[in-house]
Amino acid sequence: KASVMDGDNVDYEEMEDALEKSKAKSAFEALLEERKKLPIYPYRDELLKAVDEHQVLVIVGETGSGKTTQIPQYLHEAGYTKRGMIACTQPRRVAAMSVAARVSQEMGVKLGHEVGYSIRFEDCTSEKTILKYMTDGMLLREFLGEPDLASYSVVMVDEAHERTLSTDILFGLVKDISRFRPDLKLLISSATLDAEKFSDYFDSAPIFKIPGRRYPVEINFTKAPEADYLDAAIVTSLQIHVTQPPGDILVFLTGQEEIETAEEILKHRTRGLGTKIAELMICPIYANLPTELQAKIFEPTPEGARKVVLATNIAETSLTIDGIKYVIDPGFCKMKSYNPRTGMESLLITPISKASAMQRAGRSGRTGPGKCFRLYTAYNFHNDLDDNTVPEIQRTNLANVVLMLKSLGIHDLLHFDFMDPPPAEALLKALELLFALSALNKLGELTKVGRRMAEFPLDPMLSKMIVASEKYKCSEDIISVAAMLSVGNSIFYRPKDKQVHADNARLNFHTGNVGDHIALLKVYNSWKETNYSTQWCYENYIQVRSMKRARDIRDQLAGLLERVEIELTSNSSDVDGIKKSITSGFFPHSARLQKNGSYRTVKHPQTVHIHPSSGLAQVLPRWVVYHELVLTTKEYMRQVTELKPDWLVEIAPHYYQLKDVEDSVSKKMPRGEGRA
Ligand code: ADP
Ligand code: MG
C-alpha cells in the first residue's frame, strides 16, 4: 500500500525488487529475441521430434549454431526434465562454466539453481538443478556413484569431435547403459561433419544436421615461414587494427604464458601509439583465467574500439565469441604426448591439423564475410599438417581411466568397446603402473588400496601418495601438499619489477633445502596460521586466488579422506614421513644425479634437469623424486624433493631392486649420456 508520494512510507526494498524484476524481465526478453535468431531455432520442433523417436541421436552443426546453449533448454521446455536432469558434457572447464552462466541468464534463473555446472573441485549445482553442464571427466566420475546414471533423463555428449580421453570412455559407458535404460536419451553432438563415425559406433544412430549460416572467409598464408609466430601474431593484430575495417580479432595461441606475453607486448605497443589509433581492447581467455575475467570476452565491443581476443584452442569450437571478423592462426597448439615405452608424458607445442585450421578460419565468418591470416605457408598447410588430430586416447597415459574402469567392474579392458582403441602397449603400461602402486593385484584385480585411490579425482600417483599417508600418520600434511600441487604453477607471484624481492620471499620457504613439496606445505601452513590473510599473501608474493583454490581443494580432499576412512593426522615435524608418503606415490619418478649436474631417471634412463624455479636447483641432491616433467629448452623436473635411495627399495620392492639404487653405480657409469 506504500505509494511513492508517501515519503517516509516508501518501501524501497519493494521498489528495488520490482525494478530488478522488470530489468530482469526485459533482459530476459532481449535474450529470448537473440535465441530466436540462432541457426538452430527453426529446427526446434523437428529436433524434438527426432529425440522423441530415437533413443540415440547424433547432432551436427557448425560452431555457434546454438547446440550447447539451446538443445538442453528445448528438451527442458518439452518436459524431459520431469523425469530427471539433463547432462551436457564439455571437454573444457571454462566452457562448462561459461555456457552454464549464459543459459542461466537466458532462462532468467540464478546460476547454480535450475542451471548449474560441475567441474573438478567445484560443484555449482543444487537440489533444484535440472540442466547440468559438466566436464566429461566429471560425468565419468559420476558413474562411480551411480552406474546407471539414474538421475538423468538425457545425456548430451557435446563437442564429441574433440575426442578427449574422457569423452571416448563416456561413449563406451553410455552406449552400454542405453541398452538397459530405454528411457535414457542420448545425444552426441559435434561441430564437424564426419559424424558417420559416431553414427556407426552407436549402432547406426540417425544424424540430425543443423544447416549453419556461413559467410565466405578469405584465407591468407604467409609467403615464407615465420621464425617467431608470437611476434608475427602481434604484428599482424596491430596491422589489422590500423588498416582494416571494424570487426574484432581472434588470435589462437598455445597457452597461458604465451597469452600473457602477447598481452603485455600488445599493451606496450598500443600505448606507444597513443591516441593515434582507436582503442584496442585486449581480452585473454584460457583454462585458468579467473572466473570474474572470463565474462569480459563476451562483452560487446564499444563503438569505435576493437577487441582482440587472445585465446587457446578453447575458442576453436567450445566457445563462440560474437563479432569476430579476423582470425590469426599461427598453426600451433599445446598437445599431450605420451611415450608408452618409458611412461613419460609431456605437453608439447605441436602443429595443428588441417581440420583444426579450418575450424579456426571458420570463426571469422560467422556473422559476415571474414578473413583468416595463417602464419604459415600454403605449402606447410598442404604438406605438413595432418588431416585430423589424433584422439587423445592414443597419445596419453591411461592409468587414470584404467583405475576408473576397474572400479566400475570392467575388467576386460582389451575388449572394451572403444571407438578407436588405445595402443595395447599403453594399456599394459597403465596396468603395470597400477600394479606397482599396489592398486591392482597380480590378477589385475582392484585392491583395497586401489579402491581407496579411485575415490580421489586425482592422478593415481597423487591418490596413492594420499592413501599412503595413513601409514606415516601425516594425512593432514599430505592433502595440503596434494592441494597445492593441484593448483598448478600459479602459487608464487613474480612481478617483473620486483623479481629479487619475490625470489627472496620464495626462498624463505625453502630454508633447510626441504624440497619443493615441503616448501609448498610451509606456504600453506603459514597462510593458515595468519588465518588465511590476504595481506600475508601480498607480503610474501603469493597469489591469494591460488591459495583460496588450494584451500577449497584441500577441504574436499579432507572430505574424501573421511569417506575412505583415513584419519586426519598431522605430523609436520616428521619430514621424512611426509617425504616417504610422497615417494610412495611418486617412486616411478625418481632420478639420480650425474657427474655433470644433470640427472638420470632410474627406471627408464633419460637425462633430465631440475627446473630453475625449484628450491633445489642449486642444491643438486644425489637422489630426487619429482612431480612432473616439462619439456621447454630441456627436459625439466618440476616440484622436486630429495629422497634416500633405500626408501625406494623399502617402499617399492616389487619395482626397484638393490642394484637399481646402489650409489656406486653412478661412478661406474660411462661419462656422457644418452643411450636412452
Ligand atoms: P554451439 O554449441 O552450436 O557452438 P552455442 O550454443 O555455444 O553454439 O552458442 C550460441 C550462441 O550463444 C552464440 O552466438 C554465442 O555467442 C552465445 N553464447 C554462448 N555462450 C555465451 C556466453 N557465456 N556469453 C554470451 N554469449 C554466449
Ligand atoms: Mg557448443
DSSP for 231-276, written as a single string: HHHHHHHHHHHHHSPS-EEEEE-SSHHHHHHHHHHHHHHHHHHGGG
Ligand located closest to 158 CA: 2
Question: Would you say residue 220 has pLDDT above 80?
Answer: yes
- Residue whose Cα lies nearest atom 10 of ligand 1: it is 66
Q: Name 279's bridge partners.
A: none
HEC secondary structure over 34-57: HHHHCCCHHHHHHHHHHHHHCCEE
> What pLDDT score does 488 carry?
82
> What pLDDT score does 663 carry?
65
Read off the pLDDT of residues 498-557 as tens digits, 9 standing for 90 and up: 989 999 999 999 999 999 999 999 999 999 999 999 999 999 999 999 999 999 999 999
67 alpha carbon – ligand 2 mean position (Å): 6
Question: Would you say residue 424 has pLDDT above 80?
Answer: yes
CA quadruple 88, 92, 98, 101: dihedral sign:
positive
Split at pLDDT 50, 70, 90, the class of 214 is confident
Residues with CB under 6 A from ligand 1: 38, 61, 63-70, 98-99, 101-102, 298, 320, 322
Question: Would you report the helix, strand and coil content of the chain in percent, each value rounded to 5?
Answer: 45, 20, 35
Lowest mean pLDDT among 279-293, 361-375, 603-617: 279-293
Cα–Cα distances in Å, from 391 out to 123, 166, 205, 349, 604?
28, 11, 21, 16, 26
> What pLDDT score does 675 carry?
38
233 alpha carbon – ligand 1 mean position (Å): 26
Q: Which of 320, 366, 367 to mutate to test the pocket of ligand 1 (most atoms within 8 A of CB)?
A: 320
144 alpha carbon – ligand 1 mean position (Å): 31
> What pLDDT score does 342 carry?
74
Q: Which of 32, 35, 102 to mutate to test the pocket of ligand 1 (most atoms within 8 A of CB)?
A: 102
Q: How far apart are CA 206 and CA 50, in angstroms?
A: 9
CA dihedral 468, 473, 477, 478 (to 10 degrees): 0
- Residue whose Cα lies nearest atom 13 of ligand 1: it is 64
Read off the pLDDT of residues 459-488 as tens digits, 9 standing for 90 and up: 999 999 999 999 999 999 999 999 999 998
> What pLDDT score does 210 carry?
94
151 alpha carbon – ligand 1 mean position (Å): 26
500 alpha carbon – ligand 2 mean position (Å): 45
How many other CB atoms sit within 10 Å of the CB of residue 497? 7
Ligand located closest to 160 CA: 2
Q: How far apart are CA 93 and CA 166, in angstroms?
A: 13
- Residue whose Cα lies nearest atom 22 of ligand 1: it is 102
158 alpha carbon – ligand 1 mean position (Å): 13
Return the C-alpha cell found at 449. Answer: 588400496
Return the C-alpha cell found at 660. Answer: 637399481
Residues in CB range of 357: below 8 A, 6 or more apart: 329, 331, 374, 381, 385
Residues in CB range of 382: below 8 A, 6 or more apart: none
> What pLDDT score does 676 carry?
35
- The percentage of the chain sitting over the pLDDT mark of 90, rounded to a whole number, equals 78
61 CA: nearest ligand 1 atom: 3
360 alpha carbon – ligand 2 mean position (Å): 14
Tell me, what DSSP letter sits at residue 446?
A: B
191 alpha carbon – ligand 2 mean position (Å): 8
CB environment 633-644: b (16+ within 10 A), e (fewer)? eebbbbbbbbbe
- Residue whose Cα lies nearest atom 14 of ligand 1: it is 64
Report, as an integer, the average pLDDT of 44-62: 97
Give the amino acid at 56. V
Nearest CA-CA partner of 148 in 401, 409, 449: 409
For residues 68 and 195, which has the higher predicted lDDT (pLDDT)?
68
Q: How far apart are CA 485 and CA 432, in angstroms?
A: 24
Integer-rounded Cα Rg, in Å, for the chain is 27
- Residue whose Cα lies nearest atom 25 of ligand 1: it is 298
Distance of CA 229 to the CA centre of its chain: 24
Mean pLDDT estimate for the chain: 91
Residue for cell digits 574484432?
248
HEC secondary structure over 373-442: EECCCHHHHHHHCCCCCCCHHHCCCCHHHHHHHHHCCCCCHHHCCCCCCCCHHHHHHHHHHHHHCCCECC
Read off the pLDDT of residues 569-587 as tens digits, 9 standing for 90 and up: 998 788 999 999 999 999 9
ipTM of the complex, rounded to two decimals? 0.98
Residues in CB range of 614: below 8 A, 6 or more apart: 516, 637, 638, 639, 640
Read off the pLDDT of residues 148-199 as tens digits, 9 standing for 90 and up: 999 999 999 999 999 999 999 999 999 999 999 999 999 999 987 678 999 9
For residues 191 and 217, which has the higher predicted lDDT (pLDDT)?
217
68 alpha carbon – ligand 2 mean position (Å): 4
Report, as an integer, the average pLDDT of 77-97: 96
Question: Would you say residue 559 has pLDDT above 90?
Answer: yes
> What pLDDT score does 2 carry?
40
- Residue whose Cα lies nearest atom 20 of ligand 1: it is 99
Read off the pLDDT of residues 599-646 as tens digits, 9 standing for 90 and up: 999 988 899 999 999 999 999 999 999 999 888 788 999 999 999 999
Question: Would you say residue 7 has pLDDT above 60?
Answer: no
β-bridge pairing 332-339 and 280-285: unpaired
> What pLDDT score does 275 carry?
78
Ligand located closest to 102 CA: 1
> What pLDDT score does 674 carry?
39
159 CA: nearest ligand 1 atom: 2
> What pLDDT score does 10 carry?
59
Question: Would you say residue 72 has pLDDT above 50?
Answer: yes
Question: Would you say residue 294 has pLDDT above 70?
Answer: yes
Return the C-alpha cell found at 228. Answer: 617467431
